């Protein structure tokens, strides 16, 4: 049999490229109870995401093959979780140069219009109402993070050709909140790093990943500030934060409130990180269970536009939440809680400044 032409081979390669699946969902698919550790059950969302993610791993579309990561809990009250991931440090794409909190999108830098088709996993579309059979025309792409932190590490992207800079929008945040509610796994979390807060690509995206360990920020009690808006101050945590809580309703209002707060931070010259997870009500939980609702943590911080050379880790959303991805075995084996907490808290506002900021944000949200 004669060998196929190069055109035939190219066409075969295109046909062999895995295509993203349309994932349409309704609000009645949100899982509002029964989520608990160790999280053995998988929802339809979990099966589709993890199945497609693993299939791309088998195809070699990542920069490295992710094995089970060495993990240990640092002794101490904060239960910091350290993980050794050497390859992410050595194989990861170099972060883009960032000089401003409001730096415009630059098409000359790496951006998500350049991802390979096989990296796309799902197109998330929410049906507009229980009565309608039509899904929203807008969608959010779920794509692999080619340098994964953990199993199922993905990026949530609005339409990449819009070329939006890395400034959180209510539309994207709402999809992130909904993705957590679509998962039956207590360990599925999403988050956001702004420019000046360890964002490495100035093209709008959120992170999502599975981590099979509870974190203190999901159960620690918080001081109520404005119960009507679900706003509290989380102090007994690795990094004090503003805490927004919902039992699963009012996601559009929550997303709008958080993004108004984030815009206010940028106007003050502050960077920010966001972390969304299953969690207990603000009064906290005595046990390690994830709780019935959602906790959204918002950290305000002094911006930093360069990596801290020689540090055991750079501070982004994971580190603030209590997960420490480390690139060196010596740091993994020798890091202590006090040292880690100093590094995590260094870019954050002192508590008096944080309280003044919280009062400003309350007035903003009540207008």
Cα 356–chain centre separation: 27
SS3 320: helix
Residue 140 token pair: 């959010």
Cα 242–chain centre separation: 16
Q: Which residues contact 260 (CB under 8 A, 6 or more apart)?
A: 364, 365
Q: What is the DSSP string of 221-273?
A: --EEEEGGGTEEEE-SSSS-EEEEEESS--HHHHHHHHHHHHHHHHHTT-EEE
State yes or no: is 205 an active-site residue: yes
d(CA 237, CA 337): 12
Name the nearest CA neighbour of 198 among 263, 271, 261, 126: 271
Q: What is the DSSP string of 71-103?
A: EEEPSSTT--EEEE-HHHHHHSPPPPP---TTP
**Segments in the chain forming alpha helices (H):** 6-16, 44-58, 86-91, 170-182, 251-267, 317-321, 329-334, 337-345, 351-366
Give me the catalytic one of 203, 205, 213, 309.
205
Which DSSP state fits 27?
G
Which residues are annotated as catalytic?
205
């Amino acid at each position: 049999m004669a060998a196929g032409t190069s055109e035939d081979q190219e066409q075969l390669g295109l046909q062999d490229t895995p295509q993203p699946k349309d994932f349409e969902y309704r609000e009645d698919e949100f899982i509002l109870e029964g989520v608990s550790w160790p999280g053995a059950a998988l929802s339809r969302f979990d099966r589709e995401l993890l199945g497609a993610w693993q299939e791309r791993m088998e195809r070699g579309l990542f920069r490295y093959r992710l094995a089970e990561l060495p993990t240990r809990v640092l002794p101490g009250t904060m239960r910091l979780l350290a993980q050794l991931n050497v390859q992410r440090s050595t194989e990861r794409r170099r972060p883009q140069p960032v000089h401003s909190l409001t730096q415009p999108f630059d098409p000359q830098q790496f951006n998500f219009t350049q991802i390979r088709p096989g990296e796309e996993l799902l197109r998330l579309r929410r049906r507009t109402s229980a009565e309608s059979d039509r899904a929203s025309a807008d969608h959010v792409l779920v794509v692999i993070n080619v340098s994964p932190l953990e199993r199922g590490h993905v990026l949530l992207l609005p339409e990449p050709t819009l070329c939006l800079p890395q400034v959180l929008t209510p539309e994207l945040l709402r999809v992130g909140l909904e993705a957590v509610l679509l998962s039956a796994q207590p360990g599925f979390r999403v988050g956001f790093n702004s420019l000046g807060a360890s964002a490495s690509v100035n093209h709008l995206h959120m992170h999502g990943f599975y981590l099979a360990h509870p974190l203190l920020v999901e159960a620690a009690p918080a001081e109520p500030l404005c119960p009507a808006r679900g706003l509290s101050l989380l102090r007994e945590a690795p990094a004090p934060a503003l805490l927004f809580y919902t039992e699963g309703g009012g996601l559009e209002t929550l997303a709008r409130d958080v993004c108004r707060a984030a815009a206010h931070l940028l106007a003050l010259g502050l960077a920010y990180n966001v972390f969304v997870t299953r969690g207990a009500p603000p009064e906290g939980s005595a046990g390690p269970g994830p709780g019935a609702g959602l906790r959204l943590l918002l950290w305000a911080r002094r911006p930093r536009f360069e990596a801290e050379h020689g540090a055991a880790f750079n501070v982004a959303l994971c580190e603030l939440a209590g997960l420490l991805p480390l690139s060196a075995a010596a740091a993994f084996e020798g890091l202590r809680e006090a040292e880690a907490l100093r590094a995590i808290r260094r870019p954050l506002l002192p508590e008096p400044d944080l309280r003044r900021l919280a009062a400003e944000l309350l007035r903003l949200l009540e207008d």
